[in-house]
């Protein structure tokens, strides 16, 4: 089918406006008809729009469809935003709840790494009575007597199930415990005929003792020195467990360890205790990080859990090695 012929119109005009003349002169001659034709169409469109009334009601009616579309769009976006935020907040709440549960699990696991005091006691409230009570609750087969009121004695006299006396001295200094107190402790052991002792410093280091736990021998006697605040306030529990193992060996084999052999054992145990101390420090740091993660920066939780589990296993192995070293002594 042939298209209908285009309608054409020839027009001759005279221009008197200088601006109009200038516009036409600037149009290339070969495109003048085409450009002027477009200008006429454009002018008609502008003239038609200019004829719209500017009354408030008319303008509102003119933009009403646009307003409706915009309102619908904003409503949909608001609903989508609410749904997205609700899902995001729900997911974050669930994640934080899971993290809180995991942090509680970590704390429980850290507390089981070394023997814990059955009755929890806050820092600054650890006293002779609290330590006395914790030992009684932990070691049911052994007996404990408060001898702190007796002159030239220690604070607690423990008697193991094998009838071995153990003197326990407790000090609470702001600065390092002086050497005079250490010397007096050795003399008390000798005076009371006790072969084993435990020296507990509550809040400060001990002169001539590096780190938080040390085992020493003097005058054919053995003592464990601990800084309780650096061992989660249960250093006395771990120390008494070590002393019990040594005394049980003596009771079972019915003879004393020779000085040189005992020295070798003590040296090995001291070496392992130093490594144990490092692990305890790392675990204390992990515990502090875990507490801070309650309120901020939860992105590293998985890494923290892995690190805690790793050092938990390492610390358990260290403790087992120490106890095995004591059990496997050749007499």
Residues 89, 233: one domain? no
Residue 58 lies in a domain: no
pLDDT digits (tens, 9 = 90+) for 95-104: 777 777 777 7
Ramachandran region of residue 152, left (φ > 0), alpha (ψ -120 to 50) or beta? left
Provide the domain count of the chain: 2
**Is pLDDT of 73 > 60?**
yes
**Is pLDDT of 71 > 60?**
yes
Residues 94, 146: one domain? no
Residues 111, 237: Cα–Cα separation, whole Å: 13
Residues 91, 135: one domain? no
Is 163 in a helix, a strand, or coil? coil
pLDDT digits (tens, 9 = 90+) for 44-60: 776 666 555 455 556 56
Over residues 157-168, the mean pLDDT reads 91
Residues 188, 315: one domain? yes
pLDDT of residue 120: 38
Residue 15 lies in a domain: no
pLDDT of residue 113: 45
Residue 233 lies in a domain: yes
Residues 212, 284: Cα–Cα separation, whole Å: 13
pLDDT digits (tens, 9 = 90+) for 222-262: 999 999 888 888 889 989 988 888 877 766 655 555 555 65
Confidence of residue 1 (pLDDT cuts 50, 70, 90): very low
Domain endpoint, select from 100, 120, 143: 100
Residues of the domain holding 190: 128-292+308-327
Residue 283 lies in a domain: yes
Residues 88, 134: one domain? no
Q: What percent of the chain has pLDDT over 90?
A: 16
User: Which is higher by pLDDT, 1 or 274?
Assistant: 274
Residues 232, 114: Cα–Cα separation, whole Å: 9
Alpha helices by DSSP H, listed for 208-258, are 235-253
Residues 145, 186: one domain? yes
Residues 216, 94: one domain? no
Residues 180, 95: one domain? no
Summary mean pLDDT of the chain: 75
Residues 233, 161: one domain? yes
Residues 190, 267: one domain? yes
Does the pTM of the predicted model rise above 0.85?
Answer: no
């Amino acid at each position: 089918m042939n298209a209908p012929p285009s309608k054409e119109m020839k027009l001759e005009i005279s221009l008197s406006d200088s601006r109009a003349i200038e516009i036409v002169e600037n149009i290339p001659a070969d495109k003048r008809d085409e450009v002027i034709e477009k200008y006429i169409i454009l002018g008609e469109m502008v003239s038609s729009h200019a004829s719209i009334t500017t009354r408030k009601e008319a303008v509102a009616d003119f933009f009403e469809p646009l307003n409706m579309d915009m309102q619908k769009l904003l409503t949909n976006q608001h609903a989508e935003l609410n749904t997205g935020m609700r899902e995001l907040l729900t997911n974050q709440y669930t994640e934080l709840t899971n993290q809180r549960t995991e942090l509680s699990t970590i704390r429980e696991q850290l507390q089981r790494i070394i023997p814990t005091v059955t009755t929890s006691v806050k820092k600054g409230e650890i006293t002779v009575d609290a330590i006395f009570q914790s030992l009684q609750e932990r070691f049911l087969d052994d007996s404990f007597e408060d001898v702190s009121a007796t002159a030239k004695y220690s604070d607690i006299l423990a008697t193991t199930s094998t009838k071995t006396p153990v003197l326990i001295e407790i000090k609470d200094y702001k600065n390092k415990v002086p050497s005079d107190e250490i010397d007096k402790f050795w003399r008390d052991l000798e005076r009371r005929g006790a072969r084993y002792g435990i020296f507990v410093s509550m809040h400060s280091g001990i002169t001539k003792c590096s780190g938080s736990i040390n085992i020493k021998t003097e005058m054919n006697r053995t003592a464990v020195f601990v800084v309780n605040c650096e061992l989660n306030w249960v250093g006395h529990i771990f120390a008494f467990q070590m002393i019990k193992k040594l005394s049980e060996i003596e009771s079972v084999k019915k003879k004393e360890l020779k000085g040189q052999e005992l020295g070798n054992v003590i040296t090995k145990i001291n070496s392992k205790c130093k490594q144990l101390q490092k692990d305890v420090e790392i675990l204390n740091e992990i515990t502090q990080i875990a507490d801070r993660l309650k309120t901020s920066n939860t992105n590293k939780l998985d890494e923290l859990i892995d690190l805690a589990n790793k050092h938990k296993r390492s610390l358990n192995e260290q403790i087992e090695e120490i106890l095995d070293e004591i059990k496997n002594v050749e007499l």
